Amino acid sequence: MTVKIAPISESLATFFDQNEYSHIAILVDEFTNKYCLPIIQDLLPSNFTKILIKSGEHHKNLATCEQVWDRMTKANMDRHSLLVNLGGGVIGDLGGFCASTYKRGIDFIQIPTTLLAQVDASVGGKLGIDFHGLKNHIGVFQLPKAVLIDPKFIDTLSIQQKKSGFAEIIKHCLIRDEKEWSAIRQQSFEELDLSKLIAHSVAIKEAVVLEDPKEAGLRKILNFGHTLGHAIETYLLDKGKRKILHGEAIAIGMIVEAFISHQRDLISLQELEEIESYLFENYGRVKLHTEEISKIIALTAQDKKNKGKEIRFSLLTGLGDCGYDIPVSASEMKKAIQYYLN
Ligand code: GLY
């Protein structure tokens, strides 16, 4: 997998100079069709197939995959074809999954257009779709042929979307780089150099994925904040209860899981307080009702890191350090969510 951080006009032109395909399709949603496709259209062959799907996590499902496979089939795409995924996490995860399974797999490249996808989803080959309300429940590991990241794409994002991606940048610092964590937490969001932080996050993620591509061990540290974060996101998004962006849910997950780390004497009270004050400052406090807590905890039973009945967490074992496969009980989770809410 090649990850290039460069203006897209340069990196995509180089990619096409070095690779030849019998047909090229590009997967977009209504936003990337309007704002991003015009930027790269001239670099594509004139006979490319455009596959337009609806944006949003609730379309990351089997029905949308069927549409994509149908369009690829009708365009007579053979095994020497390429799918270009132009968009955020939904486009990348779903498009990569469709490409990896179409005729047992064709090449695909990721051109992530959101901060979240640039610093996390596009790197590392985790592909898939949601199923029966469970996030990324069906999927595969398959590396893209290339990930082409152009930080310019994020200029058009709302502050809320940028902050959603920033949560994964914070996570990468907390689990792997104490020095960078100390640097970012002294700055307001507006003061941050996002281009530099994208490169920093991608380097951390690439190094972890290189060591453990299929999440047999070390890669689980990338899930810090995600066991309860995913459960909260799944719970709130189910039947449209409340709107929450992925990074906003992960910010809650990181506070709650940092609290469990502290309860286990893995990080100090001061370290916990530094983490929670920065996250509250950037993401505010989401309201959850007491009766919702047990429903959220029940959802952790579906977490992909679990073994048997054990709910296993990735917890901070210091600042810039993270352990994994740590069993956590329902009562510890409850106490941690109550801590967040108070
Ligand atoms: N987002 C976590 C991972 O790719 O492993």
Beta strands 24-29 and 2-5, pairing class: unpaired
- Residue 135 has a pLDDT of 86
- Residue 139 has a pLDDT of 97
The residues assigned a catalytic role are 104, 126, 168, 205, 215, 219, 223, 226, 230, 246
- Residue 63 has a pLDDT of 98
- Domain 158-341 is found in CATH 3.40.630.30: no
CATH class of 2-155: alpha beta
DSSP 284-316: ------HHHHHHHHHHGGG-TT-BTTB-EEEEE
- Residue 202 has a pLDDT of 98
**What digits encode the pLDDT tens for the residues 270-324?**
999 999 999 999 999 999 999 999 999 999 998 888 899 899 999 999 999 999 9
Helix axis angle, 226-237 to 246-263, nearest 10°: 140
- Residue 238 has a pLDDT of 82
Q: Is there an atom of ligand 1 within 6 Å of 174 CB?
A: no
Domain ranges of the chain: 2-155, 158-341
Of 114, 123, 126, 171, which is best to mutate to test ligand 1, by the most ligand atoms within 8 angstroms of its C-beta? 126
Q: Which atom of ligand 1 is nearest to the CA of 209?
A: 5
**What digits encode the pLDDT tens for the residues 227-262?**
999 999 999 988 777 889 999 999 999 999 999 999
- Residue 305 has a pLDDT of 87
Give every residue of the chain whose pLDDT is below 50, as ranges. Answer: none
The sign of the CA dihedral 174, 177, 178, 181 is negative
- Residue 1 has a pLDDT of 72
Which secondary-structure segment (H or E) carries 110? strand 107-112
